Amino acid sequence: MKLQHFLREAQQLSPNERVKLVEQLLDSLDQTDPTIDQAWLEACHQRAQAVDQGDLALIDFDQAVARLRQKLS
């Protein structure tokens, strides 16, 4: 079926049904790659470990924004 046909059909749904349809369509696009998820998880663990060991210093949000603004100006 063509996209326009689906659109016409969807427009006949109630607003609540259209919201559910949109949510389901968006969920179908939000599929993650387990390999990428695992890589992010490992990176987070490594950074947390670096902080715990004192190898990585944390700064607060205001300091980070100030540094970025200084670099961008």
Q: Which of 4, 10, 31 is nearest to 22 (CA)?
A: 10
Percentage of residues of the chain with pLDDT beyond 90 = 77
Alpha-carbon separation of residue 13 from 6, 24, 26, 50 (angstroms): 11, 14, 17, 53
Query: What pLDDT is attached to residue 18?
Result: 93
Asked if the model's pLDDT at residue 55 lies above 90, the reply is yes
The model's pTM is: 0.49
Q: How far apart are CA 41 and CA 47, in angstroms?
A: 10
Query: Is the sign of the CA dihedral 27, 33, 34, 38 positive or negative?
Result: negative
